[in-house]
């Protein structure tokens, strides 16, 4: 089966599941999008890596990367290889000096590791056909309902209005507080608000 490369398009709140998020993967050089509902901790792990933040202590996925590196294991690629009853299945393709190993993984963990290793994420056509959204349909008004798969337009939608009311000093204080609490997703929203004003 031919692999299709994906890239992370967005990380957003899920409106169908409380305290959940969705990572939206897009087909490289294509119009199809694959939204995957993930937990808050996994969303934070992905956001931290995407934004190149440096937590004071290693997060779980950073620990995994350190473990891989210590034992000379290279994560070459992630493949979202199956979809059963709405659940995505993935595998990590790992190389050592002498062997290639496929490791079963939750898709959210696989994506968090892929971002840290800078390795490609792939899937197969039948998964995109069954669970994907064609962006052309959305733009032309044929509109496949994104909300049905739990994707909201922007991660910071709910807090953007609150942040706009704060001055720069208050924003910087809030940024320090949320970083101390390791709430990296909120930290990204605050940092973006600060950058807008510069």
Q: Using the predicted structure, report yes or no on whether residue 124 has a pLDDT greater than 80.
A: yes
User: Look-up: residue for tokens 């709910």?
Assistant: 158
For residues 144-164, average pLDDT? 44
Q: How far apart are CA 112 and CA 77, in angstroms?
A: 12
> How much is the pTM?
0.71
Domain span holding position 114: 3-155
Specify which of 48-62, 81-95, 161-175 reaches the highest per-range mean pLDDT. Answer: 81-95
Percent of the chain with pLDDT over 90: 42
Q: Using the predicted structure, report yes or no on whether residue 144 has a pLDDT greater than 80.
A: no
Domain shared by 91 and 188, yes or no: no
Domain shared by 150 and 165, yes or no: no
Domain shared by 124 and 191, yes or no: no
Cα 158 to chain centroid distance, Å, stands at: 19
Domain shared by 45 and 56, yes or no: yes
What's the total number of domains in the chain? 2
Domain shared by 101 and 71, yes or no: yes
- State residue 20's pLDDT score: 76
Q: By CB neighbour count within 10 A (0-12 exposed, 13-18 middle, 19+ buried), where does 85 fall?
A: exposed
Q: How far apart are CA 43 and CA 13, in angstroms?
A: 9
Helix or strand or coil: residue 153? coil
User: Mean pLDDT of all residues in the chain?
Assistant: 81
């Amino acid at each position: 089966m031919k692999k299709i490369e994906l890239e992370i398009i967005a990380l957003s709140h899920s409106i169908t599941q409380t305290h959940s998020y969705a990572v939206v993967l897009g087909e490289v050089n294509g119009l199809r999008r694959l939204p995957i509902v993930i937990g808050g901790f996994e969303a934070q792990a992905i956001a931290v890596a995407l934004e190149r933040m440096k937590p004071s202590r290693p997060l779980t996925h950073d620990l995994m990367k350190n473990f891989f590196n210590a034992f000379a294991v290279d994560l070459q690629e992630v493949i979202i290889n199956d979809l059963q009853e709405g659940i995505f299945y993935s595998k990590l393709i790992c190389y050592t000096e002498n062997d290639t190993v496929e490791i079963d993984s939750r898709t959210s963990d696989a994506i968090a590791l892929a971002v840290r290793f800078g390795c490609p994420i792939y899937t197969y056509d039948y998964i995109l056909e069954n669970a994907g959204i064609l962006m052309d349909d959305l733009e032309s008004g044929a509109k496949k309902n994104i909300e049905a798969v739990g994707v909201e337009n922007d991660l910071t939608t709910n807090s953007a209005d609150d942040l706009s009311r704060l001055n720069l000093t208050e924003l910087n204080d809030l940024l320090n507080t949320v970083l101390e609490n390791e709430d990296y997703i909120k930290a990204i929203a605050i940092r973006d608000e600060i950058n807008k004003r510069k």
